[in-house]
Amino acid sequence: MTNASAAARRKMWTNVRRNWPLFLVFGVAAYQSYWHTVEVATANGEATTAYAMAFVTDGMLVAGAKVIMDATKTNAARWAAGVTFVLGVVATFAVNFMAADPTPGGVFMATWPAVGMTATSLVMHLASHRRPTPAQARRKTATKATTATKAGKLHAV
C-alpha cells in the first residue's frame, strides 16, 4: 500500500467519523423518500421511470449538499449548489407529502425525515465553518501587518 492511498483512506475514515450523523439522517430520509417517490410516480402514470425518478430527487440533495460543504468551490458553484439543494428539498417534501396518509400524524411521519435531513445538513454546514482560535487570529493579523509593511516599503522606494 502506498503512502498516498493510506493517507486517502485515513482522510476518508476521518470524514466518516466526523459526518456520521449526516450520513445516518440522509440514509433514513433517502430510503423513505425513495419509496415515496416510487409510490407517487407509479400512481401518476410513471411506472416505467418511477425507480429512476427517486434517484433524481435525492441525487439533487446529495450533490447540492456535497458542493455546499466543499469550501474550495467558487461562490458561483456554491450558490448554484444551494439552489439545487433547495429544489431537491422542495421536491422531497412534495413527494413525501403526496405519499402521506391524509391525517396529521401521517403527514408528520411522512415529512419528518426530510425535515431532519434539512436541519442536519444545515447544522453540518455551519459546523464546517470554524472560527479561528485566538492564536490563529493573532498570527493572521501579524501576517497581514508584515505584508502591509513590506508593501509600504516597496512604494517608498
For the entire predicted model, the pTM comes to 0.60
> Residue 155's pLDDT is what?
54
- pLDDT tens for 24-75 read 887 888 888 888 889 988 998 888 888 888 788 777 877 777 777 666 677 7
Q: Which three-class secondary structure state does DSSP give residue 34? A: helix
The full set of domain ranges for the chain reads: 3-156
Q: Is the pLDDT of residue 143 over 70?
A: no
Q: Is the pLDDT of residue 95 over 80?
A: yes
Specify the higher pLDDT residue, 146 or 64: 64
> Residue 29's pLDDT is what?
81
CA angle 82, 84, 85 (to 5 degrees): 65
Distance CA 22, CA 92 (A): 17
Q: How confident is the model at residue 15 (pLDDT cuts 50, 70, 90)?
A: confident
Q: Is the pLDDT of residue 115 over 70?
A: yes
State the alpha helices, DSSP H only, in 70-133. 75-99, 104-127
- In a 13 Å sphere around the CA of 19, the CA atoms on its Cβ side amount to 20
